[in-house]
Amino acid sequence: MTLDTTRADPLARPVVAPGSRRGIGLGEMRLVGGFWGGLQETNARATLRHCHDWMERLGWLANFDRVARGATGGERPGWQFSDSEVYKLLEAVAWQLGHTPDPAAERLWGELVGRIASAQDDDGYLNTCFGHDGQAGRYSDLSAGHELYCTGHLLQVAVARVRTHGEDDELVRIARRAADHVCREFGVDGRQGICGHPEIELGLVELGRALDEPAYIEQARLFIERRGRGSLAPIALLSPAYFQDDVPVREADRWRGHAVRALYLAAGALDVATETGDGELFAAVERQWTRSVERRTYLTGGMGSRHQDEGFGDDWELPPDRAYCETCAGVASIMVSWRLLLATGDAKYADLIERTMFNVVATSPRADGRAFFYANPLHQREPGGDVRPDAVNPRAEGGIRAPWFDVSCCPTNVARTLASWQSCAAFVDEEGEAPVVTIAQYAAGEMRVATDGGPLVLEIETAYPAEGAVRIRVREASADPVSLRLRVPHWATGATLRGPGGAARECAPGWADVAAPLVAGDEIVLDLPVAPRLTWPDPRIDAARGTVAVERGPLVLCLESVDLPDGAAIDGIALDTGQAPRGSGDGAIVRVRASTPHAGSAGRPPFLERPDHPGGTAHEVEVPLIPYHRWAERGPSTMRVLLPMA
């Protein structure tokens, strides 16, 4: 099988929603080095193959071969949702090929598509865990079976493929048959069920958009409307809220239960709402976003406070140490915010995307792209050490990134996000007389935005987020009078913009307009203040009371034990807030009081008769803080983001 990547559409992008704003296509921006260019390159070079090899080794790929051979009788390796990892990897490959030709990735694509194709049943059903000899029947366990979830991810691969390559493609045909099967089985007159793990909804809407098949969008609408009515059989000790089957989507006022489920569902609901013009449904998700971001989200943008059900906690329940903050929930949160940004144009959604990109998505992969965090706590009390570099690991809570997991959803989710990263960098609004290009995320590279008047070519030079200057040069101007807007993040008080020709002017957080029309040769410099700053938790966050965080631009910083002087321990450190932190590289230097360990509580629980604990001496010392996303790269360590105040 050979691929013609020259067919890639430069406008290809993950989300194509109705409305005047369109995200830029993958071919409209080329990342050149810098923070995100580096991560995307490592992803392409190392992570894609890494994921493939692990799934081959564990037999998750061979599951497709077994179905093809009719040899499904024996034990099947992997969880019931392992097919979805193969699809997420393929989606990453599709996006990557959509902007960068790569023979190795093309071979990977061809191999995987061939194996998948051979496992599809004649009627379009495609799943390696159910419905064949020796397996449970199709859709016999909607609560936990993940069949529609897997199909949803398959449809997302097809969406990527249609947009980057075209409809005439084997994987697209596979997905079309699978989607048709779902519509037949679960349509108005079919099974009235839903999947325990949302995902099929957004897959169906996007594929409906990509192939112009309203039936798929209607099927997604049915799934959204059926949810929240308690139809899913309980799983062990989990309540219906675990899979958002407790309250209909349009009635809910907050995200709850399993975070990834809640967020994929929200993304799908937004897709349905924008396609069907359902303002009530759209407003419901906006309301859920607001309440959940304001009360159930970590400083990093991480969502999900609880390990037990990988779920949201109650309002203000944001423990730093037991923060689950699953990497996949970060990915899903970005998917939701991106849809809201396109639909509303409100900069707050771009702010949250940036926070989550830098402090959750970028935190997960190790520098070499071959190990990952699954959970992203903000406080590590015990040094890691349980991770086995050559084995499948549990959820990597131990402060060391792991190469692969028993449930390994995060590596492939990171892969597809990084492979399509530039699609969230900017959007074009074509509603007014002239197009407005809005840069929402900053990365070094070249932007080549298509307009009716020809391309607008911008060269973006920046060391962001290590430095705050973003220099934009207009290489080619469109014949149309295109305007440009730049995002000033909410934290960037005192940001300045030097427009083409003009003097620097201060600009408030939100969107900063650059005087139009742009002319080739124009240079614009946005200067964002990235001096380290203190950030205090809302007093209602009990687990963070009496602490303060240090941020630097979009980066959350942390103190890692390997940076402490001899004898000092993370649990004896208190920040001297009287001295402002000062910048150092992409981190900061702060003054802390370091205490020696106190005595124990004499055979009693650790509660004291006096507020001042006896024993222990303290001394003041300066210590460096590093970006949170790079902790745990220097051996086992302890770490904290929120520092007690001296």
Q: Which two tokens stand for residue 638?
A: 């302890």
Nearest-approach distance from CB 134 to a second copy, in angstroms: 19
Name which of 192 and 493 has its Cβ closer to a second copy. Answer: 493
The 501-530 site mask, x for binding a second copy (CB under 8 A), equals: ------------------------------
Per CB under 8 A, the list member of 56, 123, 253, 314 interacting with a second copy is 314
Nearest-approach distance from CB 110 to a second copy, in angstroms: 35
Per CB under 8 A, the list member of 299, 437, 484, 514 interacting with a second copy is 299
Nearest-approach distance from CB 424 to a second copy, in angstroms: 18
Task: Of 483, 518, 515, give the one whose Cα is nearest residue 497.
Answer: 515
463, containing H or E segment: none
Q: Please tell me the distance from the alpha carbon of residue 398 to that of residue 8, in angstroms, as a whole number.
A: 41
User: What is the residue whose two structure tokens read 């979805």?
Assistant: 84
Nearest-approach distance from CB 465 to a second copy, in angstroms: 17
Neighbouring C-beta atoms of residue 476, cutoff 10 Å: 13
Nearest-approach distance from CB 57 to a second copy, in angstroms: 19
Q: Please tell me the distance from the alpha carbon of residue 509 to that of residue 502, in angstroms, as a whole number.
A: 20
β-strand partners of 559: 640
The 330-359 site mask, x for binding a second copy (CB under 8 A), equals: ----------------x-x--xx--x----
Name which of 49 and 381 has its Cβ closer to a second copy. Answer: 381
Q: Which of residues 353-392 bind a second copy (CB under 8 A)?
A: 355, 379, 381-382, 386
Per CB under 8 A, the list member of 118, 140, 192, 308 interacting with a second copy is 308
Name which of 503 and 602 has its Cβ closer to a second copy. Answer: 602
Per CB under 8 A, the list member of 298, 372, 404, 442 interacting with a second copy is 298
Nearest-approach distance from CB 294 to a second copy, in angstroms: 4
Q: Please tell me the distance from the alpha carbon of residue 294 to that of residue 86, in angstroms, as a whole number.
A: 35
User: What is the residue whose two structure tokens read 């990497």?
Assistant: 327
The 593-622 site mask, x for binding a second copy (CB under 8 A), equals: -----x-xxxxxxxxxxxx-x---------
Tell me the one-letter amino acid at 332. A
Q: Which two tokens stand for residue 297?
A: 């989200």
Q: Which residues contact 324 (CB under 8 A, 6 or more apart)?
A: 259, 302, 304, 305, 306, 307, 310, 311, 375, 377
Q: Please tell me the distance from the alpha carbon of residue 610 to that of residue 557, in angstroms, as a whole number.
A: 33
Task: Of 521, 465, 411, 515, give the one whose Cα is nearest residue 91.
Answer: 411
β-strand partners of 462: 470
Nearest-approach distance from CB 407 to a second copy, in angstroms: 8
β-strand partners of 212: none
The 472-501 site mask, x for binding a second copy (CB under 8 A), equals: ------------------xx----------
Nearest-approach distance from CB 228 to a second copy, in angstroms: 16
Name which of 524 and 639 has its Cβ closer to a second copy. Answer: 639
Measured CA distances, 488 to 412, 439, 447, 513, 556 (Å): 31, 10, 19, 10, 17
Q: Which residues contact 212 (CB under 8 A, 6 or more apart)?
A: none
Q: Which of residues 95-154 bind a second copy (CB under 8 A)?
A: none
Name which of 192 and 290 has its Cβ closer to a second copy. Answer: 290
235: helix, strand or coil: coil
Name which of 70 and 605 has its Cβ closer to a second copy. Answer: 605
Per CB under 8 A, the list member of 32, 46, 247, 407 interacting with a second copy is 407
Asked if 535 touches a second copy (CB under 8 A), the answer is yes
Per CB under 8 A, the list member of 129, 142, 154, 318 interacting with a second copy is 318
117: helix, strand or coil: helix
Name which of 329 and 524 has its Cβ closer to a second copy. Answer: 329
CA contacts within 13 A on the Cβ side of 575: 26
- Residue 448: alpha-carbon gap to chain centroid: 25
Nearest-approach distance from CB 207 to a second copy, in angstroms: 31
Nearest-approach distance from CB 573 to a second copy, in angstroms: 11
Q: Which of residues 539-598 bind a second copy (CB under 8 A)?
A: 539-543, 545-549, 571-572, 598
Nearest-approach distance from CB 551 to a second copy, in angstroms: 8
**By CB under 8 A, how many residues form the interface with a second copy?**
74
Q: Which of residues 188-247 bind a second copy (CB under 8 A)?
A: 236-239
Q: Please tell me the distance from the alpha carbon of residue 367 to that of residue 364, in angstroms, as a whole number.
A: 9
Task: Of 456, 460, 454, give the one whose Cα is nearest residue 441.
Answer: 460
